[in-house]
Structure 1
């Protein structure tokens, strides 16, 4: 088996990264950053997001596992005290995989040409460069609303526990092939109205945002912030690709939610 390890970059994470690499190589596994069968993320959820984007071109051939060196993170199955157990499991056990849906982001431009495509593990947000964000929202080819406010957030089920939750969105189990649309500070009065509630769209639905006046937008894709100019539309839907997490022991989703947000 070939493996790679990504680290948060702090001293503690780097120490554990080097230890794991040495242990796994002692067991005969091959360190291969280019074509790993399994990627170990050592740090926090941001480290795993970085690893996901680095290896997004080979999601069908690479599985991920997280080790958290700080506070317990949502994507981590393991903590440093369990490193030896994890190394032994990787070296000697056949792991199962759990697939989580991803968000596809397609950005088209006013003057045609090449569209830009991204995959998000957590979410994508759209905001104006300046002024009030005004955009038409289409669902499955039909106009749904004209949104005015600070911006919109489109999240995956696994990302529903991240920024989406902070915006008042629902927590969605990742077995549901879906995306969630959540508002950021919408304007609602006698003149302007929005639905004012998060929307959960099934896997066969699409959400398209069409600019009304402004054409330049700040678009985030997980931890990346990108300026896109002369935008004609931004389409969101459940991606064909999925992320695979390597599981060496049970870690149910609702236990993960409990441990992340409720447990002391």
Structure 2
């Protein structure tokens, strides 16, 4: 089996990475950064997002697993003191693989240049460079509304606990093949009106944003911030690709939500 390890870059994470690499090499596994079967992320959820984008061309062949060296994350659920157990399971190929949906983003430009295609594990946000963003929203080929406000966020079920949640979006179990559109500070008065509620779209309902006024936007794909000018449209849909996670121990999603946002108490 081929493996690779990504790290947050701090001393604790780097030390842990070296230890895990040595252990796995002792089990005769091959360290291969170009074509790994499994990628171990050491740091936090941000480190795993980096690993996802680094290996986005191998999503059908590579599984991810996260070790956290800070706070417990949604993707990084292994603790440093558990790495011996983790190494043994990987060495013995004693794990299952779960697949979750991700987001496809296709950006077209008015000058007819090549479309830009991205994959997001968490979300994509769109904001105007300056002023209010005015955008027509189409769902399944039909206009739904004209949005006016600060911006829009389209998230995956896995990313529904991230920026989407802070915008009042619903938390969606990652086994559901859907995407969710949430508003950022929409303008609602007697003249302008939006739905004012997050929209959960199934995989067969693509969503297209079409600029009404400005055509230059700041677009984020997970942790990446991009500037796209002269935009004609931004299309969202559930991607054909999926992200694959290696599962060794049970960690139910709703337990993770509870522990992250509520805290556990047996009283």
Counting only pairs closer than 5 Å after superposition, residues 1-264 of structure 1 correspond to structure 2 as 1-263=1-263
> What 5-or-longer segments of structure 2 have no aligned partner?
none
What's the Cα RMSD here? 0.7
Which ranges of structure 1 fall in alignment gaps of 5 or more residues? Answer: none
Segments ≥4 residues shifted beyond 3 Å: none
Structure 1 residue 93, shift from structure 2 partner: 3.5
- 1:94 offset after TM fit, Å? 2.8
Distance 1:228 1:127 in 2: 11
| Cα distance in 1 between the residues matched to 2:75 and 2:255 | 12
Residue by residue, what CA displacement relative to the aligned partner does 1:115-172 show, whole Å, maximum 9, x if unpaired? 0000000000000000111110000010000000000000000000000001110000
- State the TM-score, normalizing by the size of structure 2: 0.98
Q: Deviation at 1:76?
A: 1.8
Preserved CA contact (<8 Å) 2:68 2:78: yes
CA distance in 2, matches of 1:259, 1:246: 21
Structure 1 CA distance for aligned equivalents of residues 2 and 93 of structure 2: 14
State how far apart, in whole Å, the 2-side matches of 1:86 and 1:159 are.
Answer: 25
Local SS of the residue matching 1:150: strand
CA contact (8 A) 2:42 2:66 kept: yes
Deviation sequence 1:173-212 (CA, Å, 0-9, x none): 1111000000000000000000000000001111100000
Aligned length: 264
Deviation, 1:111, is 1.2
Name the CA distance, whole Å, in 2 between partners of 1:77 and 1:135.
Answer: 38
State the alpha-carbon separation in 1 of the partners of residues 165 and 112 from structure 2: 35
Cα offset, 1:22, TM superposition = 0.5
Deviations 1:201-225 (A, max 9, x none): 0011111000001010000000000
Q: How many Å separate the matches in 2 of 1:173 and 1:68?
A: 22
Distance (Å, rounded) in 2 between the aligned partners of 1:99 and 1:192: 41
Could you tell me how far 1:259 is from its partner in structure 2? 1.9
- What is the TM-score when the length of structure 1 is the normalising length? 0.99
